[in-house]
Copies of this chain bind each other. A is one copy, B any other.
Amino acid sequence: VENLRWIQGGVTAAKGFVAAGIAAGIKRSRKPDLALVAVAHPAAAAAVFTTNRVQAAPVLISRARIRRGCAQAVLINSGCANCLTGPVGMRDALRLGRATAKALRIVERDVLLASTGLIGRRLPVARVERAVPRLIAQLGPAGHAEAARAILTTDRRAKEAAVEAVIGGRACRVGGMAKGAGMIAPSMATMLCVLTTDAAAPARWLGGLLREAAEETFNRLSVDGDMSTNDTVFLLAGGGSGVAVRPGTAGARTFARMVTAVAGRLARLMAEDAEGGSRVMEVEVVGGRTEQEAQACARRIAGSLLVKTMLAGGDPNVGRIAAAAGSSGARFDPQALEVHIGPQRVVARGAALPLGAAVARRLVSRPAVTVRVHLHAGRGAGRMLTCDLTEEYVRINARYHT
């Protein structure tokens, strides 16, 4: 997008935000597992949460706190989801929030919480509580990289992004970090993500904007179709840049593009880092009777195990794409169906076109593959991002220990 500039700095790129990440002893591996993002004054805040009926304790707490529209810190742990832990899990989460608020000398309800990791096990709460002062001692603008590392589970790489743009003559920034490589699902915010900005904006407006950005990015990403109990995206607007975004202005549109750009980059990084994934596939559906039908069709193709294993094998079995489209609920004339893989047309008027074996193999053996389906039934369009399903995915998930 025209005047956006990609910059370094992740979740602390925005002026006023500090972060830290340490190993608090939740993971047996002794890898970093506790992260904090904070800002000097309460920031306008919004969030999107999982729609799963089973929700982790930190999700329940953060959901209640965010209604007030402000927050000053986000405490995240990996290595334990603190979900399916009953009343004791709620007490554990509240206790960690309280310890954080006390050490930061801020209002308890201004602390947001998120957890990720194994479901059904308690946090080693005393050990984590003891680690909080050490975590806070590390807080700083350079802490973004350690914080991004401390929220990972099966991810291979930390995921950070930040952009800068000029609004009303002044530079402002949106940055963020995310985690997520599995249990990434076809509906609702699909992982943990913290977005920060040094622009100021009304919390309620930020909420709408965040939902739209999530819809365009995280919600169009599917790794395995499983929906987590802990999915959370936070957006904190601290105002440190002096830029005030007013809804309805050109500046607001620029700001929305900034948020969507950072969210989109983080979603792409998640697809590239998907558990066991070796290549990314973009599915684009056009010509749907409605937007909804085109999106459902893209979602179905992206979620098909047979399409995803085909992609792992690097072998373009176009029948699987057509079968997935046909079972998506989208209405279309099968004799008008058209499919492209990359620049190559592979199905025309509902019939598979003969391809040389060499051409065929080349089509789906790139690191990023685009499948474009034309339903010829209207003007609806949809899009999804996914990855292949490999033996490695099964290995990882068959052995993710209880």
Which positions in A face B, CB cutoff 8 Å?
51-55, 81, 83-86, 88-89, 118-121, 182-183, 185, 187, 224-229, 303-306, 309-310, 312-320, 322-327, 330-332, 334-335, 337, 347, 349-352, 355, 357, 360, 389-391, 393-395, 397-402
Contacts and interface: CB of A to CB of B under 8 A. Distances in A.
Q: Which of A227, A305, A306 has the most CB of B within 10 A?
A: A305
Most buried by B among A355, A360, A391: A391
Given A312-B398, A317-B402, A334 B391 contact: no
Nearest to A224: B305
15 contacts: A51-B327, A53-B332, A81-B319, A84-B318, A84-B351, A183-B306, A225-B303, A225-B305, A229-B326, A310-B398, A310-B400, A313-B399, A357-B402, A390-B398, A393-B394
Contact of A319 (B119, B350, B395): B119
Number of copies: 2
Given A183-B306, A326-B229, A350 B315 contact: no
Nearest to A83: B319
B226 A324 contact: yes
A277 to B, nearest CB: 12
A360 B303 CA distance: 30
A225 B401 CA distance: 25
A402 B323 contact: no
A120 B347 CA distance: 9
Contact of A350 (B81, B84, B320, B355): B84
A85 B118 CA distance: 47
Given A54-B326, A326-B52, A182 B86 contact: no
Given A83-B323, A84-B351, A305-B397, 12 more contacts: A52-B323, A53-B325, A53-B326, A54-B337, A55-B334, A84-B318, A84-B350, A119-B323, A187-B327, A224-B306, A225-B304, A390-B398
Contacts of A303: 225
A304 B185 CA distance: 10
Contacts of A225: 303-305
A3 B304 CA distance: 42
A63 to B, nearest CB: 13
A334 B54 CA distance: 5
Given A305-B225, A395-B391, A402 B315 contact: yes
Contacts of A357: 402
A226 B310 CA distance: 13
A401 B314 CA distance: 10
